[in-house]
Amino acid sequence: MSVVFWALVAFATVSCLFMAWSLGANSNSPPFAPAIGANAVSTMRAAFLIGILAAAGALTQGGAISETVGANLIRGVTITPLAATTGLLVAASFMAFGVYSGYPVPAAFATTGAMVGVGLSLGGGPAFDTYREIGTFWVLVPPMSGGLAYLTATLLRREDVPETQSIPLLAAVVAAILANVKLGVIPHPERAQASVADAAAVSLGGPSVVGVDVVAIVVTLLFAALAHRYIQRRTRASVEAGIRTFLFALGSVVAFSSGGSQVGLATGPLENLYGVELGLPGIALLGIGATGILAGAWMGAPRLLQATSREYAQLGLRRSIAALVPGFVIAQIAITLGIPISFNNIIISGVIGGGLAAGTAGVSRRKIGVTLGFWVVTLATSIATGYGLYQLLSGLFGIK
């Protein structure tokens, strides 16, 4: 392998780290903001936990989305080191522009567009089936997130359902889903990832009903019952203390999920380089992404947390819960399907849905319109920029 190749490997790795750092500093921070606003955790402790949890999520859940970004967006070609570097540079530049300008640049849109652009510039063909799946999911995210947030906020506002019942019920739902979250560190004889419920079913055996293992159902119900019992005891002692405890736990699982759903945006472009050309296991690439996310959370998250926690404090504890519950659910669906997503898209939609339950979305129509328009512009311009920049760099260096 030539010196130019290794130089590109080094530059691509640095670009991956920078992209992951940006994600750790920005996209992974919102989950803990409500807990900080409720004084359930300090800013510095939250930043520390975000780094640990998001990095853990990246290592254990990031593989599916990384593969989609790196291998499934273009047909007929493989992403070269120069193409990977170009895609990461474009995506990171859009992220940097968003941070310094204040415009809502979604990382998923920027990275997906950049990789489609460089792939087309390489001579590859559009992967229309993948685009339809991703596009459909993106279009469904606002109504799904807003709808779930609306239902959650409506439940919390019902006078005939005391919070000593509604909050534990939500905790039970979240715990039941958590029991079935697929993790790369849990082995399974038939697939690459498995959940705690799957592992218990394989270990203990037992009958299945309509293709579902009875043991997995029992484990799921056990998780739900334990979470319900714990949060119910907390809310009965003090409703506010119980809500703060649930907010802290909810922020933790959402931060974990955000790491798993976002790391692929940084590592995906390097899938072919690390997995095929260098022959390294997937965990090595995810480790690089997790390291960048960890550093970004520890170095960049505190300032953003202080700002966003004030916004969530204005929303109130219950509306914050309503915004985060769909964040966890939709992020896990996206990870399972291997679809790159914008976490801010989910959270913003959840805030609007929770606001509608109170009679107002709390976000101006103009702001919503500007945000949606900028998302579309980001996708289109990142495709064009990725295509043009790769043409320029490949001609400059004489590399195809």
- Residue 132 predicted with pLDDT over 90: yes
Grade residue 102 by pLDDT with cuts at 50, 70 and 90: low
Averaged pLDDT for residues 322-346 = 87
Has residue 342 got a pLDDT over 90?
A: no
Q: Percentage of the chain with pLDDT > 90?
A: 36
Cβ contact 15:219 at 8 Å:
no
Is residue 347 very low, low, confident or very high in pLDDT (cuts 50, 70, 90)? confident
Q: Cα–Cα distance between 166 and 152 in angstroms, integer?
A: 9
Contact assessment for residue 166 and residue 177, using Cβ atoms and an 8 Å cutoff? no
Cα–Cα distance between 90 and 253 in angstroms, integer? 30
**Sequence-separated (6 or more) residues with CB below 8 Å from residue 377:** none
For the four alpha carbons of 9, 13, 18 and 22, in that order, the dihedral sign comes to positive
**pLDDT at residue 176, rounded to an integer:** 95
Asked whether the predicted pLDDT for residue 277 surpasses 60, the reply is: yes
Residue 112 has pLDDT above 60, yes or no: yes
Whether residue 248 contacts residue 56, with contact meaning beta carbons closer than 8 Å, is answered with no
Q: Which of 192-196, 239-243, 331-335 has the lowest mean pLDDT?
A: 192-196
- Both tokens assigned to 265: 């945006």
What are the tens digits of pLDDT across the range 248-268? 899 899 899 999 999 999 999
Cβ(297)–Cβ(29) under 8 Å?
Answer: yes
Residue 385 confidence class, pLDDT cut points 50, 70, 90: very high
pLDDT in tens, 28-51: 777 777 777 667 778 888 888 889
Task: Say if CB 298 and CB 48 are below 8 A apart.
Answer: yes
What pLDDT does 362 receive? 52
Q: Give the separation between CA 184 and CA 264, rounded to whole angstroms.
A: 14
DSSP 23: H
pTM over 0.75: yes
Residues with Cβ within 8 Å of 247's Cβ and at least 6 positions away in sequence, in order, are: 34, 35, 38, 40, 317, 320, 321, 324
The tokens of 399 are what? 């590399």
**N- to C-terminal Cα separation, the chain:** 16
Q: 75 has which bridge partners?
A: 125
Q: Mean pLDDT, to the nearest integer, of 123-146?
A: 91
Enclosing H/E stretch for 45:
helix 43-61
pLDDT in tens, 147-190: 898 888 888 888 888 888 999 999 999 999 999 998 888 877 77
Residue 8 in this model has a pLDDT that exceeds 90: no
- Looking at residue 52, its pLDDT comes to 93
